[in-house]
Amino acid sequence: MYGSEHMFVYGELTSGGVVGTVRGHPDPPGPPALGVLAERARPTSTSRTRVLVVHDPLAPCLPDGGLRRGSVVRCSGEGSLSLALALIGRISGTGSWCGLVGVGDVGALAMVGYGVDLDRLAVIHAPPVPWTQVVGMLLDGMDVVVANSSGRPRPAAARQLVARARHRHAVLVVVGTSPAWPAPADVHLRVTDGRWQGLGRGFGSLQARRVSVVVQGHGSGARPVERELWLPDAAGRVAPA
Amino acid sequence: MERLLLVICPSLTFVTGGSSSSSDGEDGGHRLRQFARIVDVLTEVCPWIDPVRPGVCALPIRGPSRYLGGEGAVLDRVTDLVTATLDPVDPTLDPADPVDPTLRAGGPVQLGVADGLFAAGLAARSGIVVAEGGTPAFLSPWPVATLGTPVLSELLPRLGLHTLGQFAAVPARDVLARFGTAGLRYHRLAQGAEGEHPGHRAVGLGAHLAALQQGPELRNRQSGFWGETSTADVRAAGVLTSLQRRFGLDAVVTAVVRDGREPGERVRFLPWRPDRPGDGGRDRPGDGGRGGPRPTAAPWPGRLPPPEPARVAIRGREAAIEIVGPSGSVVRVTARGELTSEPVRVSFAGGSWVGITGWSTPWPAEERWWSRARRRAARMQITTADGRAHLVTAERGRWWLAATYD
């Protein structure tokens, strides 16, 4: 019930009819809301197929406790690529197919550290056509597609991708520092305040990086929540700070 | 009636000859596989590609022309896609399917636009785009033989009706009285009032193509993640195969890790192949991220300590960077592996200067490829004032950006 606990905190789910009304009541007194009961009574296989399970430290960063199929997640800020790779690590490692588009210089060993199964990661370094087209095709066959938004896509193309992810029950993770994503995202994870540890002035070596992840759910009323993470920790994984 | 773009690939057309088995003949099957690829590729322009006959398909042009910005743009795109698909991008893609250049004499693709399948077919024969509403006038001069029915082709000229226009001008009730309801359909076709030629579609072609698009490599697969091919694997393989068909094998790659010292040396990106997952040849790192980097048997002195950088420049394509000391002079690494001064600022690829907040002792990196070139290199980790961390290399008398801990 780790994940659902945080659903209370973030609430505001856009679909699935889950616990949208109990935001702000982490421990609701009396009988739980009907929606909560319905959700708990669901066979686990249903909720598992609906939400892709992420590494435990990342679950509190996501309103659903994982990547909800059909949703769009935006990662921005310095370290957003690491965050995206960490997000797909467990999903990929448990047999799901993932795609990575537009990161010409991705570090495969870093991906391995986050648990990514390289056999099931289709990498498209430099899309020969606008990246939105390739991403659209990939969404048809992958569970999660991580796309580096090099250049701002046309709003219409971006909205088409949102619709395609929803239709195909795939997850689109948009990574990028500066260009804005001109379409709604269900979750926006902003990596801020990254601080590397272990390296001094002429001694030591990089050990780990502590970051703050600002989580913003969908809708203007969603309150941003901040989480502290090691991304990566000394072993190259993601860990709670 | 729908305005259609008809696409004819002359090299891929053949007569099915009534029996479906003939299309499985070596030549027919080979052409049909190519045609299946083309239909697949054209779905980029429009999701409703209608395979009419082997080598011939149609698509509604209104939607795509709004999307791509005019019918001319659609024609260009379709020509490009078909031409590119017919070209042997990589002969290893399908060794059983060599493309015979003689088949492509006379242009790889013919296009025509008109209302309805029949008129669009005639337009494509001569490469004509019929103006909106101009289909009846366009049909008028064509001989009645184009209707494709031996009976009418023989009878109508005897009645002095040689062209579709002359046939169309005959009152419908007279046609009905003389040729029955079947004749009336051809009459409406000649008038441009009906779009489709009865019996001129190859039956079951769509299903046949769909089966071919799966590709023999998928249908024959047996191994998978749990010893069988899962639906997800087939779905993923279909999409990746399709991407490779369109953009080349190198467009879709997977990473392979092996032993070595440099991040750039330990990883290779190889074209994705449908039989790779679950081949058992390599251990799986999918342990939920708890195992950390894949352990390797041999110790590699000088290997980068973990964590690994998230971005690694492709070897030989590292960007040149500048690192200067307090006096503004370039920092160098001495033969003894020491810095000539404290590094203070760094500039990436001619960009603005950023302060260096931390750096490691340079450590020597004598790599196989470097030693072959009789060169030595030193590596150093740095952190910068903007919170980033990099791996830089001193080689060939200057600094290079080898990796970034994004």
Domain count, chain B: 3
Domains and CATH numbers, chain A: 2-51 (no CATH), 67-240 (3.40.50.300)
Res A3 pLDDT > 70 = no
Q: Judge if B176 and B252 occupy the same domain.
A: no
Res A115 pLDDT > 80 = yes
Is B300 part of any domain? Answer: no
Burial class (CB in 10 A: 0-12, 13-18, 19+), B188: middle
Q: Which of B286, B386, B403 sits opposite A94 (nearest CB)?
A: B286
Q: Judge if B136 and B27 occupy the same domain.
A: yes
Res A128 pLDDT > 90 = no
Is B283 part of any domain? Answer: no
Top-confidence range, A17-21, A152-156, B158-162, B367-371: B158-162
DSSP state of A17: -
Res A93 pLDDT > 50 = yes
CB B190 within 8 A of CB B144: yes
> Which residues of chain B does A55 touch, with a Cβ-Cβ cutoff of 8 Å?
288-289
Q: Judge if B22 and B105 occupy the same domain.
A: yes
Q: With a CB-CB cutoff of 8 Å, which residues 194-213 of chain B face chain A?
A: none
The last residue of a domain, from among B208, B223, B247 = B208
Res A239 pLDDT > 90 = yes
Q: Judge if B147 and B51 occupy the same domain.
A: yes
pLDDT reported for residue B375:
55
Q: What is the mean pLDDT of residues A26-53?
A: 51
Q: Judge if B67 and B204 occupy the same domain.
A: yes
> Which residues of chain A does B307 touch, with a Cβ-Cβ cutoff of 8 Å?
110, 113, 206-209, 232-236
CB A122 within 8 A of CB B252: yes
Which of the residue ranges A152-161, A178-187, A228-237, B151-160 would you say has the lowest mean pLDDT?
Answer: A178-187
Q: Which residue of B has its CA nearest to A210?
A: B387
Over its length of 406 residues, how does chain B's per-residue pLDDT go in tens digits? 789 999 998 888 776 544 444 444 556 677 888 888 888 888 878 777 888 888 899 998 988 888 788 898 899 889 888 888 875 533 443 444 444 333 333 467 889 999 999 999 999 988 889 998 899 999 999 999 888 888 888 889 988 999 999 999 999 999 988 888 888 889 999 998 888 766 667 766 776 776 666 544 444 343 444 444 567 788 888 899 888 888 888 889 998 887 666 656 677 888 888 765 443 333 333 333 333 344 443 344 456 777 889 998 877 788 899 999 999 999 998 877 789 999 999 999 778 899 999 999 888 765 544 344 445 678 899 999 988 999 999 988 899 999 999 8
With CB atoms and an 8 Å threshold, state whether A107 touches B311: yes
Q: With a CB-CB cutoff of 8 Å, which residues 326-365 of chain B face chain A?
A: 339, 342, 357-361
pLDDT reported for residue B273:
84
Q: Which of A109, A129, A141 sits opposite B236 (nearest CB)?
A: A141
Average pLDDT, chain A: 79
The last residue of a domain, from among B256, B271, B286 = B271
Is B38 part of any domain? Answer: yes
Q: Judge if B85 and B150 occupy the same domain.
A: yes
Q: Which two tokens stand for residue A217?
A: 């759910």
Q: Judge if B155 and B254 occupy the same domain.
A: no
Q: Which two tokens stand for residue B105?
A: 């004499």
Q: Judge if B131 and B168 occupy the same domain.
A: yes
With CB atoms and an 8 Å threshold, state whether A55 touches B289: yes
> Which residues of chain B does A164 touch, with a Cβ-Cβ cutoff of 8 Å?
none
Residue B21 structural domain: 3-208
Whether B381 contacts chain A with CB within 8 A? yes
Q: Judge if B105 and B185 occupy the same domain.
A: yes
Is B163 part of any domain? Answer: yes
Is B295 part of any domain? Answer: no
Q: Which of B230, B278, B310 sits opposite A106 (nearest CB)?
A: B310
Residue with the larger pLDDT of the pair B240 and A17: B240
Q: Judge if B252 and B170 occupy the same domain.
A: no
Q: Which residue of A has its CA nearest to B40?
A: A137
pLDDT reported for residue A221:
43
pLDDT reported for residue B64:
85
Task: Supply the ipTM of this predicted assembly.
Answer: 0.77
Q: Judge if B189 and B238 occupy the same domain.
A: no
Q: Is B110 left (phi over 0), alpha (psi -120 to 50) or beta?
A: beta
Q: Which residue of B has its CA nearest to A81?
A: B406
Distance CA A79, CA B369 (A): 31
Q: What is the CA radius of gyration of chain A?
A: 18
> Which residues of chain A does B267 touch, with a Cβ-Cβ cutoff of 8 Å?
107-109
CB B20 within 8 A of CB B49: no
Distance CA B358, CA B388 (A): 10
Is B51 part of any domain? Answer: yes
Distance CA B31, CA B170 (A): 42
Res A13 pLDDT > 50 = no
Res A123 pLDDT > 90 = yes
Q: How do B253-257 and B267-271 pair as beta strands?
A: antiparallel
pLDDT reported for residue A228:
94
> Which residues of chain B does A127 touch, with a Cβ-Cβ cutoff of 8 Å?
251
- Identity of the residue numbered A57: P
* Interacting residues of B44 by C-beta distance below 8 A, sequence separation 6+: A133, B77, B81, B246
